Structure 1
Amino acid sequence: MEEVIYKAKKFTLVRKARVVGGRTVWGEYLIHPGAVAVLALRGGRIVMVRQFRSAIGEWTLEIPAGTLEGGEDPESAAVREMIEETGYKPLRLVPLLEFYPTPGVSNELIRIYFTDKLEYVGVSGRDLGEVDMSVVEVAPEEALEMIKRGEVKDSKTIIALLTARLRGLI
Structure 2
Amino acid sequence: MIPTPFTAVDYTLEAEQPVYQGFFAMHKLRLKHRRFAGGWTDTMSRELLLRGRAVGVLAYDPWQDQVVLVEQFRVGALQDQDSPWLLEMIAGMVEAGETPESVAHREAMEEAGLQLLDLQHLFTYYSSPGGTDEQILLYAAIVDARGAGGLHGLQHEHEDIRVLVLPRQQAWQQCQQGRARNAMSLIALQWLEMNHTQMQHQWQAQRPLPTTETGES
> What's the TM-score once normalised by structure 1's chain length?
0.88
Query: Could you list the runs of 5+ residues in structure 2 that have no partner in the other structure?
Result: 1-14, 34-39, 79-83, 201-217
**Identity percentage of aligned residues:** 30
2:85 matched residue in structure 1: 59
Distance 1:127 1:162 in 2: 34
- How many residue pairs are counted as aligned between the two chains? 168
2:29 matched residue in structure 1: 16
Over 3 Å counting, the alpha-carbon distance change for 1:22 and 1:33 in structure 2 is closer
Over 3 Å counting, the alpha-carbon distance change for 1:107 and 1:59 in structure 2 is same
Bigger Rg over Cα: 2
2:116 matched residue in structure 1: 90
Matched, 1:154 2:182: yes
- 8 Å Cα contact 2:175-2:185 kept in structure 1: no
Matched, 1:129 2:129: no
Distance 1:23 1:127 in 2: 46
Per residue, is there more strand in 1 or in 2?
1
Deviation at 1:91, TM superposition (A): 2.4
The CA RMSD measured in Å over matched residues stands at 2.3
2:206 matched residue in structure 1: none
Structure with larger RCO (C-alpha < 8 A, sep 6+): 1
Query: Could you list the runs of 5+ residues in structure 1 that have no partner in the other structure?
Result: none
Deviation at 1:148, TM superposition (A): 1.6
Deviation at 1:125, TM superposition (A): 4.3
Judge which range, 156-165 or 13-22, deviates more.
13-22
Distance 1:149 1:124 in 2: 26
CA deviation profile, 1:2-31 (whole Å, cap 9, x unmatched): 11111122x221111212435210100112
Deviation at 1:128, TM superposition (A): 3.5
- 8 Å Cα contact 1:33-1:70 kept in structure 2: no
Deviation at 1:118, TM superposition (A): 4.5
- 8 Å Cα contact 2:119-2:140 kept in structure 1: yes
